[in-house]
Amino acid sequence: MNNNPVIVAFDVETTGLVAGVDRVVELAAVAFQSDEILGVFSRLVNPGIPMPPAASRVNGITDELLAEAPPPAAALPDFLRLLGRGTPVAHNAAFDVGFVGVEAETAGLPAPEGPVLDTRGLARCAFPGRFSYGLANLARDLGLETPGAHRALSDAHACRQLFRSCLGKLEKDADLSIQDLIRLSGAPLDFRGNAPRQPRTARLLQQALASGAMVDISYRSSCGILTNRLIKPISFSTVGGSVAVVAFCTLRNDTRTFFLGAITEARLAP
């Protein structure tokens, strides 16, 4: 790889799926250069809300484990410092970027600058035609070592190994630059440009969902067409790894699914 840059694989465990509504409960990052590990961070953090049973069943993190943990704001400076040592990479990075961005914003801390790579996008290019690009399935099929899956440090190490596997496959013909990897990763991501808007939108939609209020949104379709909609949120969901809100749309007079990342503006209707 050109110039042998430092890469930082990171992962977060959370109370749920929606940044801005749910909270981070564990942070982990592994800085590496080629096959050399330069630094490791791993810490549980107390979200200040009960751990939902559904999330606890996935990652094994309980209220008892979190009782003595520090709040996110106390752990974030060291975590963000390690992220800033190189180019961050995560699997299904939009999820992790959203949560880290909103936690940094809540704590009044600056998020790292620069692009974030996504091993899911890289894996699609390196290993095309697979049925699943989930981290656990890729790790199993590629023989990666992932003890304690669905804990942040284990998944960060799995992401590090997957990045190395993807790079080895993609660089068979030529060295790649960070800019090449950004292009192969998919939609551009960065903590400062992408992360803050979506959590604020999520909080507003959650407020409307709880109160039964209507929301005016500007929504950009997959074809790039921007429309104004009046919607009544029903629930949150994930589609292909992206967070969406299921809502009644008055324009279509039917229930529709709207990706949070495609909502350019949102405000409570009078």
Residues known to be catalytic: 150
Distance CA 189, CA 187 (A): 6
Phi-psi region of 138 (alpha: psi -120 to 50; beta: other; left: phi over 0): alpha
The two structure tokens encoding residue 252 = 């279509």
Residue 4 identity (one-letter amino acid): N
- Cα radius of gyration rounded to whole Å, the chain: 19
The helix (H) or strand (E) run that includes residue 239 is strand 226-239
Q: In 10 A of CB 151, how many CB atoms?
A: 19
Strand 87-90, strand 7-14: pairing: parallel
Distance CA 229, CA 176 (A): 42
Q: In 10 A of CB 199, how many CB atoms?
A: 23
The two structure tokens encoding residue 27 = 């942070």
